[in-house]
């Protein structure tokens, strides 16, 4: 240990991350103290790590954070994530950002400031690679003066920003690869709430809790798109067929258009959604490279005949993971099981029920027949709190039929997950 | 011979020679630089590394090169587990690995080994750290006091929160409380001395310090600020800040 150079000690202390742990460790010996003062590159004040931060008053917290940061030199990563800590004063936060400006590469900050500080305007921009800001307000973005030449990952949570500023911000980040938008407060200028974002370099996009009339994304490099808990009238994705992973979860969209981008899709994951199968299928029919399809907790339009396995088998020959969970009505099931094409490459099957009925075991049986190379099946079930006698009976019947069924498929691993 | 099977010779400080594939050896930025700028045919000396350590390092590099190139069918989780086992070595070996990874500039190995040491430090007090790694305390008393005073907040709070159980509880509820608490301190009410022995074994396993509440609860040790949080098992955890020396 004595032979380790002081920079390496600094590297080790940086991996402790939590400021309290780093400060305590620095009292071990003088070399460690020097490592802390001159060679520390990452420091974090996270209330998840040490809940006692929230028991200290904001004023005292500001003082201890200031004193700790100012003992270091050349900090590259700073994280101040305190849930329920109150507010910090603007001048103190500005001091922290200015002190670390020259060297900072990663900044995570989620405490509201009073009065509001435009973090993006003050933090060091030259070297910043990862920026995650929450409970803040962004105004007056000027891409000519405020560029983030190295920024790869941007996350804005509960941030108030105008649609225009948001799109200008993306143009100020020429290397941006990952964007996360959670519950933004989009200031509207017209009657329609429209957000149009364009970035040639974005690869991952995650959007949560956004409610807009129109949301248009233009990205030539996009690989992953995940929308969650959104209410959109129109969602349009314009791209060059680079999308590989598409996930929507508890989203309501009236007009969804990703048609041009589906050629290379490998994963489609849709949950808590109302599908008009024919329309949806038309949209994804060109995804011949699809490997995983998940339709979970989906409901079909009343007039819809539902999913049919024949189409899935024929159009997605490379499918190896299929997950289905929807209410099985008699008509739906019989329509779905028409045809005889097998799902040759499916090795993992996940089937779930939301309300158990007698059709389910029959459906499992039919699907097992159609997947000759299956290795694993996982059954997901929901058991209601008030377990009626009838429900218990159906569950018992289901259990026996599965036991009988799996005897014919001894090579298939079966797992159950109930909630 | 194609360039894919180019071999590089490495000679260690104890005169052992290792012949490895170029792709594996250039995981080390140092070796890569020497190879590209020096004589590619003669032997590269790695004076600061012994044969045993270099052998382990080459194992690491080989595993990572093979998994990245798809030559070995290993999932990211399996590789992570392999790495975790790789660093289960005695302290001296671990530090030798760190020194070698630093010298040979193998970033991923340096990250892995430094993180391992960081995990060993986390949660320990300075005295404990010194004992674990056999470090001499070269602080003068005044200097150490100055460090502690400058960062009072970190050294003052003993674990930060304490848990006090105030109800008359059955043994098993008390054990459940100790098992589930995230606190490092547990204070038992003065009238529940019988509980102390039975749960102190459980508390020891979790490194929780157990104290008996003083008869006079307003002793200077316990600050006034008390917050109540209902933890749903039928009793209430009280949180105190202890102004004790760390």
Judged by a CB distance cut-off of 8 A, whether residue B122 touches chain A is yes
Longest dimension (CA), chain A: 77
Calpha distance A333→A150 (Å, rounded): 52
For residue A229 the two structure tokens come to: 């808990």
* Local confidence band at A285 (pLDDT 50, 70, 90 cut-offs): confident
Work out the mean pLDDT of chain A and round it to a whole number.
88
Select from B41, B50, B33, B39 the least CA-distant residue to B105.
B33
Nearest beta carbon to residue A52 from set B114, B129, B160: B160
DSSP string across B89-151:
S-HHHHHHHHHHHHHHT-HHHHHHHHHHHHHHHTT--HHHHHHHHT------HHHHHHHHHHT
pLDDT at B227: 37
Q: Which chain B residues contact residue A24 at CB under 8 A?
A: 124-126, 154-155, 246
Q: Which of A3, A5, A8 to mutate to test the interface with B (most CBs of B within 10 A)?
A: A8
- Lowest-confidence range among A101-105, A290-294, A326-330? A326-330
pLDDT of B102 higher than 60: yes
pLDDT at B223: 33
Distance from CA of A51 to the nearest CA of B (A): 8
Q: Which chain A residues contact residue B148 at CB under 8 A?
A: 27
pLDDT, one tens digit per residue, over B185-217 is 565 555 555 555 566 666 666 656 665 555 444
Judged by a CB distance cut-off of 8 A, whether residue A66 touches chain B is no
* Local confidence band at B98 (pLDDT 50, 70, 90 cut-offs): very high
pLDDT at A205: 95
CA angle B241, B243, B245 (to 5 degrees): 130
For residue A390 the two structure tokens come to: 């009838």
Q: Which chain B residues contact residue A8 at CB under 8 A?
A: 98-99, 102, 110, 114
Calpha distance A79→A107 (Å, rounded): 6
Report the percent of chain B where pLDDT is more than 70.
Answer: 61
Calpha distance B150→B139 (Å, rounded): 15
pLDDT at B202: 66
User: What is B5-121's CATH number?
Assistant: 3.30.710.10
Number of separate helices (H) and strands (E) present in chain B: 11, 8
pLDDT, one tens digit per residue, over B3-43 is 557 888 888 888 888 888 888 888 888 888 888 887 666 78
Q: What Rg value do the Cα atoms of chain B yield, rounded?
A: 27
For residue A192 the two structure tokens come to: 């329609």
Q: Which chain A residues contact residue B143 at CB under 8 A?
A: 30
Contact B110 A19 (CB under 8 A): no
- Lowest-confidence range among A242-246, A249-253, B40-44, B161-165? B161-165
For residue B100 the two structure tokens come to: 């070698």
Half-sphere exposure of B240 (CA within 13 A, CB side): 23
pLDDT of B134 higher than 70: yes
Q: A85 - beta bridge partners?
A: none
pLDDT at A254: 86
CA dihedral A99, A102, A103, A105 (to 10 degrees): 100
Domain residue extents for chain A = 268-418
Calpha distance B167→B103 (Å, rounded): 59
**Pairing relationship of beta strands A153-157 and A413-418 according to DSSP bridges:** unpaired
pLDDT of A250 higher than 50: yes
Q: Which chain A residues contact residue B129 at CB under 8 A?
A: 25, 28
Nearest chain B residue to A19 by CA: give it.
Answer: B154
Pick the residue with more confidence: A339 or B146? Answer: B146
Q: Which chain A residues contact residue B126 at CB under 8 A?
A: 24-25, 27-28
Counting every residue, how long is chain A? Answer: 419
- Lowest-confidence range among A143-157, A176-190, B47-61, B215-229? B215-229
- Lowest-confidence range among A93-97, B81-85, B148-152? B148-152
Distance from CA of B31 to the nearest CA of A (A): 20
Judged by a CB distance cut-off of 8 A, whether residue B90 touches chain A is no
Distance from CA of A76 to the nearest CA of B (A): 16
pTM over 0.90: no
- Lowest-confidence range among A48-52, A121-125, A158-162, A299-303? A299-303
Omega within 30 of 0 (cis) for the link into A115:
yes
CA dihedral A14, A17, A20, A22 (to 10 degrees): -10
Judged by a CB distance cut-off of 8 A, whether residue A56 touches chain B is yes
For residue B57 the two structure tokens come to: 């390092």
Pick the residue with more confidence: B133 or B204? Answer: B133
Answer for the pair B29, B106: CB distance below 8 angstroms, yes or no: yes
């Amino acid at each position: 240990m004595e032979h380790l150079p002081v920079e390496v000690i600094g590297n080790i202390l940086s991996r402790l991350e939590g400021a309290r742990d780093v400060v305590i460790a620095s009292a071990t010996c003088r070399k460690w103290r020097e490592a802390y003062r001159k060679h520390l590159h990452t420091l974090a004040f996270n209330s998840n790590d040490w809940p006692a931060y929230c028991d200290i008053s904001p004023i005292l917290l500001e003082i201890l954070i200031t004193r700790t940061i100012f003992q270091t030199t050349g900090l590259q990563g700073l994280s101040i994530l305190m849930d329920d800590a109150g507010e910090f004063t603007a001048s103190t936060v500005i001091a922290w950002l200015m002190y670390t400006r020259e060297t900072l590469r990663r900044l995570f900050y989620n405490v509201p400031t009073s009065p509001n500080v435009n973090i993006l305007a003050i933090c060091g921009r030259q070297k910043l690679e990862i920026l995650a800001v929450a409970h803040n307000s962004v105004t007056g973005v000027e891409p000519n003066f405020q560029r983030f030449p190295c920024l790869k990952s941007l996350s804005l949570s509960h941030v108030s920003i105008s649609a225009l500023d948001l799109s200008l911000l993306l143009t100020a980040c020429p290397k941006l690869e990952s964007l996360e938008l959670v519950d933004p407060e989009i200031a509207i200028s017209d009657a329609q709430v429209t957000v149009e974002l364009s970035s040639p370099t974005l690869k991952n996009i995650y959007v949560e809790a956004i409610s807009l009339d129109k949301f248009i994304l233009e990205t030539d490099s996009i690989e992953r798109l995940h929308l969650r808990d959104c209410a959109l009238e129109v969602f349009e994705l314009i791209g060059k067929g680079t999308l590989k992973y598409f996930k929507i979860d508890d989203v309501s969209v009236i007009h969804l258009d990703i048609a041009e981008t589906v050629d290379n899709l490998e994963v489609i994951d849709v949950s808590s959604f109302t599908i008009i199968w024919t329309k949806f299928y038309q949209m994804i029919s060109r995804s011949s490279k699809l490997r995983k399809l998940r339709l979970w907790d989906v409901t079909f339009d009343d007039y819809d005949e539902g999913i049919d396995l024949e189409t899935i088998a024929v159009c997605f020959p490379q499918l190896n993971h299929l997950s289905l969970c929807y209410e099985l009505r008699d008509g739906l099931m019989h329509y779905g099981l028409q045809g005889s094409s097998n799902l040759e490459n499916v090795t993992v099957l996940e089937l779930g029920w939301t309300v158990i009925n007698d059709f389910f075991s029959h459906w499992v049986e039919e699907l097992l027949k159609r997947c000759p190379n299956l290795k694993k099946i996982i059954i997901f079930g929901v058991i209601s709190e008030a377990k009626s006698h009838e429900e218990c009976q159906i569950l018992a019947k289901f259990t026996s039929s599965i036991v009988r069924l799996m005897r014919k498929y001894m090579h298939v691993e079966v797992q159950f997950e109930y909630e | 011979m194609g360039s894919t099977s180019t071999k590089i010779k490495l000679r260690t400080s104890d005169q052992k020679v290792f012949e490895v594939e170029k792709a594996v050896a250039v995981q080390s930025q140092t070796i890569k630089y020497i190879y590209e700028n020096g004589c590619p045919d003669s032997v590269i000396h790695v004076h600061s590394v012994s044969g045993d350590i270099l052998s382990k390092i080459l194992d690491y590099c080989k595993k990572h090169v093979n998994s990245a190139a798809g030559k070995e069918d290993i999932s990211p989780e399996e590789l992570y587990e392999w790495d975790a086992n790789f660093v289960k070595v005695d302290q001296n070996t671990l530090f030798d690995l760190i020194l070698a990874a630093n010298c040979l500039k193998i970033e991923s190995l340096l990250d892995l080994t430094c993180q391992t040491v960081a995990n060993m430090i986390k949660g320990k007090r300075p005295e404990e750290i010194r004992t674990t790694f056999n470090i001499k305390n070269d602080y003068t008393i005044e200097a150490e006091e100055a460090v502690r005073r400058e960062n009072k907040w970190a050294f003052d709070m003993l674990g930060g929160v304490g848990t006090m159980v105030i109800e008359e509880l059955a043994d098993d509820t008390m054990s459940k409380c100790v098992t589930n608490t995230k606190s490092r301190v547990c204070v038992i009410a003065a009238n529940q001395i019988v509980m102390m022995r039975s749960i102190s074994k459980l508390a020891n396993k979790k490194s929780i310090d157990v104290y008996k509440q003083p008869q006079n609860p307003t002793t200077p040790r316990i600050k006034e600020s008390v917050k109540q949080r209902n933890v749903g098992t039928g009793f209430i955890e009280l949180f105190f800040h202890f102004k004790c020396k760390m």
